[in-house]
Chains A and B, each alone.
Chain A
Amino acid sequence: MKKVKMGWSGISQYSGLVIILVIICIIFQAKNPLFLTFDNVIAILRQLSIYGIVGIGMGFLILNGYLDLTVGSMIGICGVTVAYLMTAANLPIWLSVLLTLAAGGAIGAFNGAVITYTGIPAFIFTLAMTTVYRGIIYLVTDGKTISNLPKAFLAIGRNNIMGIPIAIIIFFATLIIAWVILNRTTFGRSVYVAGGNPLAAKYSGINNRKITILCYMICGVTAAMAGTVLAAKLSAVQPTLGNSYEMEAISVAVIGGMSLTGGVGSIAGILLGALVLGVIDNGMIMIGLASYWQMVVKGIVIVIAVIFDIYKKKGALTIRKIRRK
């Protein structure tokens, strides 16, 4: 009898992305020698950690075959929530943050419940809810900026632990937790199975609805985390807080090789996707490219990453055909 091989696979699938990342870094480094210094690398990581965090939550949803365009507005709502709880309600910081995370989870669960119970397409529902949530922010704040946040709270966005900004630590901690959930729990397994083929998941005894609502909750919690960190970093909460972060979050996941049809992707991809986006953001400033150009370049990079992915899959397809012969 043949011994069945057990081992790691799939690491190599990110080789393309790593090469792209290295090439971009070399170009930036050549143009500006200050690019790859410790300080700048930390700056890059700090910048990307916020959309990286939302990207993780979005990753759960995309793996499950869904999407949430409300995360930008959710970041806003949660930023406002945490600010009000600390200032107007005068609650302790830790409690405010905890309640805010719970609020994010609750909004997420609501999104997920409406989508799974009514069958409304996730794209349309969350697109519509984006303006609803943003509208609520304006209604609550009357369009005004909330400032005078407690000093101790601002530390989350500004202080370092052993030279590393807290935001970065939060991002990496979230990455690790997400990896464990996706790869080492029955829930994570269900996310992949249900995302890859909901019908087969149903026939395997998996409760698709429960899994999807949980994914929306996770996405909501990460949006709340990002909202909190962002509020602390900016030391004030404007009604526009988190605007267009849904695009950043989706970009992170898609550049990282996740398939919008579900079932394909990993946390390593999220990290790489966030790195690519962060490096481009920062590098373009470092080499003095005008910010309008940055938008153009970022969009193009997303397109290239996805096309690259499609070609890779086509390659895999021909290999598949060969193996069948």
Chain B
Amino acid sequence: MGTAAIEVRNLDKRYGGVHALKSINLSFEKGKVCALLGENGAGKSTLIKILSGIEQPTGGEILIDGKEIKISNPLTAQHYGISTVHQEPMQVMAISVAENIYAGRLPKNKLGMVDYRKLRRQTSELMEKINIRLDPDQLLSELSIAQRQLVEILKAISYDAKVVIFDEPTSSLTKEETKTLYEIIRMLHERGITIIYVSHRMKEIYDLCQEAAVLRDGRNVFEGRIDKISQEELIRNMVGRNMGQLYPKIEIQPGKKVLEVKNLTSDYVKDVSFSLREGEILGLSGLVGAGRTEVARALFGIDSYKGEMILDQKAIHISSPDEAISKGIVLVPEDRKSQGLVRILDIRKNIGAVDMRYHHKWGFLMQRDEEKTVSDLIERLNVKTPSAYQIVDNLSGGNQQKVVFAKWLTKTPRVLILDEPTRGIDVGAKAEIYSIIGELVRGGIGIIMISSEMPELIAMSDRILVMREGTCAGIVDRSDFSEHTLINLALKGGTA
């Protein structure tokens, strides 16, 4: 074992009655890329918050280079060379890239005003160091999430960080952006910087990391070299039980045609045609921005469109979500926080937002029926909550996603569109979502599933439609599935 960059001994954290970290002992070896794994609620974020100075531990010690230190706030963390790239970067959108990186320590001229030339030069030099190309003067609000993460990374390096913590950095990145991030992480690694990498994606971890530490229920249950442990074993460590198969693909003979779409054209997509059968999962693949979500938006009546839609042998035209829902076409949207849920309301009101369509008499809610529907769904989808009156924001990501599903299952839909149904949720919840999806197709509905996670799409779909620049680049049958084929189509559109 080499020397530890950061070591924690008997680290303990209690929030009131909740024991979030139970006497953890971990060491992150200097110059290594270490994966930090665990289900949501396992204590990962607590540990990160403590290491970045946002929270204080209730017991135990933190050692940097063998010396005990106290990280009392984020500034001290930076002082000790610990920088964190947060999942959802906390940045000021209305100021430039350079100003964000050097906020609080902008170079000044003799008059005490900001020396923008120097600032620009500093930023460019910083970018050259790790081969990032961004315009220092561009406003943050004009950048994509991936670019904003790069700004976070630049900021981390500008502090001369010895340890950089990445908290689920790829959860909203495209494949290409993820690649860039990999390169940067490798570059940081070559410069001898220690990296703590939090992710739910197994493939990434095996690609990038040398070490792994697993937390479960506030304890560390595994620590060691990643090439010594198989993926199955790692998952078993995380969830504390045998996962079985992660993707329970159910073989169903697709039934009759549910939906047929011909030449769907909106402001964002052009001439997309496909059909969907009962019990079938049609995957929608392609790069972010290729028009996958936009197909869903048109089908659900959010964007207006031209083209034909035939639902159960009847030609329909959908001009609003209200209309789509009453025809049985529903959407689990991409961003559950902003589109799927009212986070300040409880589970019942969230599910009731849709359920009230079916359970009312002259506009009056049918309380009993609603209560029963809600509690049945909570049970059926195994939403972990003390009651139906729990505020949704208090639930974990996976449980929040189940509530979004529940909204659309108060009445069985004909066509269920899933946009990134497992984004940002942990392995255990993912498996549960997959089995819900399986149960639904067995019930004979048609599912359209958009996903950026190739393995998920390949495992779950019967056919995959690949989008490229707003058009359909091709539809691939299950027998021809491979990442290679799909990526080829997404990039070049040629048949592989």
Number of A-B residue pairs, CB cutoff 8 Å, is 128
Q: Is the CB of A324 within 8 A of B387?
A: no
Residue A187 CB within 8 A of the other chain: yes
Residue B363 CB within 8 A of the other chain: yes
Given A5-B388, A7-B389, A322-B15, do A203 and B363 touch, yes or no (CB 8 Å)?
Answer: no
Most B CB within 10 A of own CB, among A9, A196, A203: A203
Complexed CA–CA distance, A6 and B370 (Å): 11
Complexed CA–CA distance, A204 and B340 (Å): 8
Interface string of B308-334 (1 = CB under 8 A from A): 000000000000111011100001010
Residue B143 CB within 8 A of the other chain: no
Residue A245 CB within 8 A of the other chain: no
Q: Which residues of A contact B41 (CB under 8 A)?
A: 324-325
* Minimal Cβ-Cβ distance residue in A for B387: A5
Given A193-B353, A200-B342, do A4 and B378 touch, yes or no (CB 8 Å)?
Answer: yes
Interface size on B, residues (CB 8 A): 56
Residue B136 CB within 8 A of the other chain: no
Residue B37 CB within 8 A of the other chain: no
Q: Which residues of B contact A325 (CB under 8 A)?
A: 15, 18, 20, 41, 43, 46, 218
- Name the contact of B333 in the complex, choosing from A9, A203, A320, A323 (C-beta under 8 A): A203
Q: Which residues of B contact A190 (CB under 8 A)?
A: 353, 356
Q: Is the CB of A200 within 8 A of B338?
A: yes
Interface string of A156-187 (1 = CB under 8 A from B): 00000000000000000000000000001111
- Name the contact of A318 in the complex, choosing from B15, B326, B342, B365 (C-beta under 8 A): B15
Residue B122 CB within 8 A of the other chain: no
Q: Is the CB of A203 within 8 A of B321?
A: yes
Complexed CA–CA distance, A4 and B326 (Å): 29
Residue B357 CB within 8 A of the other chain: yes
Could you tell me the distance in whole angstroms from the C-beta of B330 to the nearest C-beta in chain A? 9
Given A205-B320, A205-B324, A324-B396, do A9 and B354 touch, yes or no (CB 8 Å)?
Answer: no
Interface string of A189-208 (1 = CB under 8 A from B): 11011001101111111110
* Minimal Cβ-Cβ distance residue in B for A198: B342
- Name the contact of B387 in the complex, choosing from A4, A192, A263 (C-beta under 8 A): A4
Q: Which residues of A contact B17 (CB under 8 A)?
A: 322
The majority secondary structure among interface residues of chain A is: helix
Residue B386 CB within 8 A of the other chain: yes
Q: Is the CB of A189 within 8 A of B340?
A: no
Residue A151 CB within 8 A of the other chain: no
- Name the contact of B354 in the complex, choosing from A1, A5, A204, A207 (C-beta under 8 A): A204
Complexed CA–CA distance, A204 and B325 (Å): 8
Q: Which of B204-212, B241-249, B343-351 lines the interface with chain A?
A: B343-351
Q: Is the CB of A322 within 8 A of B364?
A: no
Identify which of residues 5-42 in chain B touch chain A, using a CB-to-CB cut-off of 8 Å.
Answer: 15-18, 20, 40-41
Given A5-B386, A197-B343, A320-B393, do A206 and B18 touch, yes or no (CB 8 Å)?
Answer: no
Could you tell me the distance in whole angstroms from the C-beta of B417 to the nearest C-beta in chain A? 11
- What are 19 residue pairs bridging A and B, where the CB atoms are less than 8 Å apart in the complex? A2-B379, A4-B385, A5-B388, A184-B364, A186-B356, A190-B353, A193-B342, A193-B349, A197-B338, A201-B342, A204-B321, A205-B326, A207-B322, A263-B342, A319-B16, A321-B15, A323-B18, A324-B41, A324-B394
CB within 8 Å of A: which residues of B?
A: 15-18, 20, 40-41, 43, 46, 218, 300, 302, 320-322, 324-326, 331, 333, 338-346, 349-350, 352-354, 356-357, 360, 363-365, 367, 371, 374-375, 378-379, 385-389, 391, 393-394, 396, 407
